[in-house]
Amino acid sequence: MTAEKKAEKKALRSRMVAWRKKIQPSLRQGMSQCILGRLFQMDAFRQAQTVFAYASMPDEVQLDALLKACLSQGKRIGIPEITGPGIMEAAELESMEDLVTGKFGIRSLAPEVLRIIPPEEIDLMIVPGAAFTRGGERLGLGGGYYDRFLPRADRACRIACIFEGQIVPEVPAEEHDQPVDYLVTEIGIVNCCKEHAAGRR
């Protein structure tokens, strides 16, 4: 990565995270409910048997209702588990009560309940990020975990549940950066594959 591109990514990431943190909690909760309402109507969610999501941080789109919906509907749900430097796996969540708050306020599973889901069994990936384009390009949060993990879950539909304000004209993407298939916001659903194809014409 060039120093210039690294600086561009850092600046955009900082700006978007700062913007996200300014959203009032009540507004964030309302927008989150709207976003999940749209997600629940999508065939990609309805047909998925195994879903990978994450226990959201306070400033992100709130996904606890998604985790609970998967559990109540009998879907298998995986959440991130960092198993080594730069390495992430999908740990099966069987109860919301199994979540524990660890370093940096991130909720994950206690070691005694860890069961890893093979990435090739995942049907739907909910992918976080700081910013996205309508063509699906993604600026992650800096760790590179998803860029390494997504190719391993190669049959999964990739959806970003984000606020509309996180959509930007372009991100400083590199060859290894992994795109998403859909953006779901409080305004609507963006089919990134169609947007990307339209941009090539």
Residues 71-107 pLDDT 10s? 999 999 999 999 888 899 999 999 999 999 987 788 9
Which tokens in the block code for residue 13? Answer: 């990431």
DSSP reduced 3-state for 132: strand
Which tokens in the block code for residue 61? Answer: 């789109």
pLDDT at residue 17, as a whole number? 92
DSSP reduced 3-state for 81: strand
DSSP reduced 3-state for 161: strand
CA distances from 116 to 22, 83, 119 (A): 35, 10, 9
- pLDDT at residue 198 is higher than 80: no
pLDDT at residue 149, as a whole number? 96
pLDDT at residue 200, as a whole number? 40
Residue with more model confidence, 70 or 144: 70
Confidence band (pLDDT; 50, 70, 90) for 201? very low
Give the span between the Cα atoms of 21 and 43, in whole angstroms.
31
pLDDT at residue 176, as a whole number? 78
- Could you give phi then psi for residue 187, rounded to 5 degrees? -90, -35
**Share of residues in the chain with pLDDT > 90 (%):** 77
Confidence band (pLDDT; 50, 70, 90) for 196? low
Give the span between the Cα atoms of 142 and 151, in whole angstroms.
17
Residue with tokens 């210039």: 4
What is the model's pTM? 0.93
Give the span between the Cα atoms of 108 and 33, in whole angstroms.
22
| HSE-CB of 173 using CA atoms within 13 angstroms | 21
